[in-house]
């Protein structure tokens, strides 16, 4: 039996005291509301759907063939094992919070196969075993071997927290092989896809074995010296272009960049003198101040699924991969634990309610891989740029990644210190805040900005409530007192209170982009609370193309009721106009005047493509 420390049950629980401490996810029970409902759809629909597709696409057969239980050839991308591991992690977090009897047959079968396939020296990779047995660790540029191991580790950590360690034993055997091969005195090359770094730090926290964190540091510090080759996309794509501590601009494959900085932040959390902080701060500014879509999406180029130049943010060609938004949430959470700055929680919220939420259909069984901010009329359907969500992809990294995030979302809502409890995200539910006190949160956030918190006994510590940067005009009341205005950041409620009401204004607001963002010049985006809205073809009058819709330079938006099929409030933008039809691709002279169109309806961006395929846009041009 492997040794497991009594660390917190949470995806990131630093080994040393940090500015904020995460809360054990078992202390949060989500109720009826947006996040609670989404988590239940994730468990009831998404996870079973993912399990079924892992079977139908051959991910489990890839293991069975190695023990003579299937004659099918290897199917899927070479990193298909990682989709199994992410799914096991999702179920592991569910198991840490409660009963998962309905999934145990799948889990037991998966663990049985992994144990049977694992080599005596610990190696485990269904692509590089069997016919390719002599190719292990020969293509670190593209092979994803340690990326897959990272996800295996994270699945094992989740299940160890749930009290089951057989998967952890499998993972540890493989990790020991990596120590021998790539540890100090071993090979000085690195995997082309970062991910193992944050997983190794998690493993060190779980087991108390600091060697795993040292290996993560070694892998971080070996990057940037172009040891694995340029491959098809260059060293930046593989995050092997600039040493991590010297990096000042986010470049290359967006998911790889964000997993890498999450790993560096994990090491920084556990070691005060790790030396990554200057790079982390500079890269955070590069991402969030120059290279992020208004929805929280990241990655502006389809080639290499990569970041572009500063302010290169085309709406219609936005790649904005779902996994990049999830990785950014993980990174911002670790930065929040480092210094408690509200801007990190603001970005978690932005991404969660927009770039992440848009990826999943209402029924939880179809998904976007990329998430553009505009889909043109007559769009040519492609797998990496579909016109509507697909139930699966050849590269199916996003659906199981969503599953593991939603299963563990409880761990990203609150933190604590010896002096205070901090609320970062707002969701209806019951929260064990310590000191023998339970807080019941009543809210319909993000649709309604009123957040009521009732404590079953007067609080012993302060309560810190995040006031988002977008929530100008927010007010706070305690124990029935008159509302008082509060500024963005964290507002403090002194100990000894029994009720708190925070009111965040969710009136519609129009926003514009920096003038260097050519893809949004002369256009406005509409936000209601933390949720961005879009226009969709389904809401336009017959015969009107979305590309011809214009709105005033000083528009007004009003509430337009809840759309039952979307389960969300809609907005009406007044004074819309219709551009005159243009006959020529290019022409000289004045364009014909636009005609009145009247009010047009806007829906939450994350709900588009749930009714029918069709054009969509977030940035609406003005006239």
Residue in 202, 271, 305, 347 annotated catalytic: 305
Tokens of 80: 């298909």
3-state secondary structure 473-516: CCEEEECCCCCEECCCEEEEECCCCCEEEEECCCCEEEECCCCC
Query: Residue 256 and residue 224: Cα distance in Å, rounded?
Result: 13
- Catalytic annotation present for 397: yes
Q: Cα–Cα distance between 83 and 73 in angstroms, integer?
A: 18
How many angstroms separate the Cα of 514 from the Cα of each of 312, 349, 371, 477, 527?
11, 21, 21, 36, 16
Residue 35's Cα: distance from chain center in Å? 14
Count of beta carbons in the 10 Å neighbourhood of residue 585 = 5
**In the block, which residue shows the tokens 């209170």?**
497
**DSSP-H helix ranges across 525-597:** none
The radius of gyration of the chain from alpha carbons, rounded to an integer in Å, stands at 24
Q: Cα 442 vs. chain centroid, distance in angstroms?
A: 25
- For tokens 């592991």, what's the residue? 92
Structure tokens at 92: 């592991």
**Pair type for strands 21-22 and 499-503:** unpaired
In the three-class reduction of DSSP (H, G, I as helix; E, B as strand; rest coil), residue 217 is classed as: helix
The residues facing 462 across adjacent strands are: 420
Contacts for 126 with CB less than 8 Å, ≥ 6 apart = 62, 63, 65, 66, 74, 80, 81, 117
- What are the φ/ψ torsions at residue 414 (nearest 5 degrees)? -130, 155
In terms of C-beta density within 10 A (0-12 exposed, 13-18 middle, 19 or more buried), how is residue 5 classed? middle
User: Pick the catalytic residue: 145, 195, 323, 397?
Assistant: 397
Active site residue 323: no
- CA separation for the pair 22, 14 (Å, rounded): 8
Query: Sign (positive/negative) of CA torsion 12, 17, 427, 439?
Result: positive
Active site residues: 305, 397
């Amino acid at each position: 039996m492997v040794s497991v420390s009594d660390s917190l049950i949470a995806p990131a629980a630093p080994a040393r005291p940090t500015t904020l401490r995460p809360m054990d996810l078992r202390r949060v029970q989500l109720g009826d509301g947006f996040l609670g409902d989404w988590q239940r759809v994730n468990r009831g629909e998404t996870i079973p759907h993912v399990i079924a597709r892992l079977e139908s696409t051959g991910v489990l057969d890839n293991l069975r063939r190695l023990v003579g239980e299937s004659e099918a050839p290897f199917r899927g991308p070479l990193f298909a094992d990682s989709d199994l591991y992410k799914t096991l992690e999702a179920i592991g977090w569910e198991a840490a919070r409660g009963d998962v009897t309905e999934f145990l047959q799948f889990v037991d079968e998966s663990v049985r196969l992994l144990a049977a396939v694992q080599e005596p020296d610990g190696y485990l990779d269904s692509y590089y075993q069997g016919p390719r047995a002599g190719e292990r660790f020969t293509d670190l540029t593209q092979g994803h071997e340690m990326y897959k191991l990272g996800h295996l580790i994270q699945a094992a950590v989740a299940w160890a927290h749930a009290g089951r360690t057989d998967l952890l034993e499998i993972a540890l055997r493989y990790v020991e092989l990596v120590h021998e091969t790539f540890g100090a005195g071993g090979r000085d090359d690195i995997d082309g896809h970062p991910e193992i770094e944050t997983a190794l730090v998690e493993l060190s926290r779980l087991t108390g074995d600091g060697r795993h964190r040292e290996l993560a540091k070694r892998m971080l510090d070996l990057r940037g010296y172009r040891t694995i080759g340029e491959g098809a996309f260059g060293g930046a794509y593989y995050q092997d272009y600039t040493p991590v501590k010297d990096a000042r601009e986010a470049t290359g494959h967006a998911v790889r960049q964000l997993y890498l900085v999450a790993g560096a932040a994990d090491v920084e959390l556990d070691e005060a003198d790790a030396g990554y902080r200057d790079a982390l701060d500079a890269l955070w500014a590069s991402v969030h101040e120059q290279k992020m879509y208004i929805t929280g999406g990241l990655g502006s180029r389809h080639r290499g699924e990569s970041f572009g130049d500063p302010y290169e943010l085309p709406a219609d060609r936005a790649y904005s991969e779902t996994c990049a938004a999830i990785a950014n949430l993980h990174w911002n959470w670790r930065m929040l634990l480092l210094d408690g700055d509200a801007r990190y929680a603001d970005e978690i919220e932005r991404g969660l309610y927009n770039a992440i939420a848009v990826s999943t259909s209402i029924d939880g069984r179809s998904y976007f891989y990329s998430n553009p901010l505009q889909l043109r009329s007559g769009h040519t359907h492609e797998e990496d740029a579909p016109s509507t969500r697909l139930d699966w992809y050849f590269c199916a990294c996003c659906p199981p990644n969503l599953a593991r995030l939603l299963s563990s979302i409880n761990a990203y809502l609150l933190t604590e210190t010896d002096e205070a409890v901090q609320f970062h995200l707002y969701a209806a539910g019951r929260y064990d805040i310590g000191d023998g006190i339970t807080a019941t949160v009543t809210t319909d956030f993000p649709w309604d900005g009123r957040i009521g918190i009732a404590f079953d006994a007067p609080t012993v510590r302060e309560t810190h409530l995040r006031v988002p940067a977008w929530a100008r005009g927010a007010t706070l009341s305690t124990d029935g007192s008159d509302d008082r205005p509060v500024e963005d950041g964290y507002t403090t409620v002194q100990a000894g209170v029994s009720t708190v009401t925070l009111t965040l204004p969710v009136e519609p607001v129009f926003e514009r982009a920096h003038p260097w963002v050519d893809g949004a010049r002369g256009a406005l985006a509409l936000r209601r609370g933390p949720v961005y809205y879009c226009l969709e073809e389904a809401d336009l009058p017959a015969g009107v193309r979305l590309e011809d819709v214009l709105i005033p330079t000083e528009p007004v938006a009003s509430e337009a009721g809840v759309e039952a099929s979307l389960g969300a409030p809609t907005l009406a933008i007044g004074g819309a106009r219709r551009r005159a039809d243009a006959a020529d691709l290019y022409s000289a002279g004045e364009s014909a005047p636009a005609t009145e169109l009247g009010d047009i309806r806007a829906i939450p961006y994350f709900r588009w493509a749930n009714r029918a395929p069709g054009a969509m846009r977030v940035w609406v041009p003005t006239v």
